[in-house]
Amino acid sequence: MDTQAADEVLADFQGHLNLILARVRTLWKESAARIHPELQPSGYKLLAYIGRTGQVSAHRLVELFEMDKSMVSRQIRMLEQFGLIESRPDENDGRLRVLTVTAQAERVLAELRAENAERMRSVLAELSPAEVAAASKAFRLIAEA
């Protein structure tokens, strides 16, 4: 493939990636609203991560999401007020707090994960397992860049 053709393919890929990112932001907003009308998309992202990992410290969330400490603190307070997360002392270091999701949050997150998984299965049904694996590899490489 010549350089011009490669550049056109890359530009097409980047354009579709931008559309995916815009769709993800919309899904975060819709998912946040389904959980609680006042939950912000950034709060949803934190909640979903806590739900996936089981427990995490606020400090780790700041690092992972590259968010300001005050923003993470506000979102954590809101999540606690909405009854979606609980905070408890870390077993290894009592100075730290560990965040976990509540049973209520776990239920709604499980529903959203199931719906999202079904949407993905439907969208990716026309691809072979090898094509899905190649797309997954591309996204992994982009995420690690």
| Residue in 121, 110, 118 with CA at minimum distance from that of residue 34 | 110
Tell which CATH classification among 3.40.50.300, 3.60.150.10, 1.20.1730.10, 1.10.10.10 matches the domain 3-144: 1.10.10.10
For residue 18, give both structure tokens.
């931008």
What are the tens digits of pLDDT across the range 112-130? 999 999 999 999 999 999 9
Cβ neighbours, 10 Å, residue 76:
21
What are the tens digits of pLDDT across the range 78-89? 999 999 999 998
Is residue 46 predicted with pLDDT exceeding 90?
yes
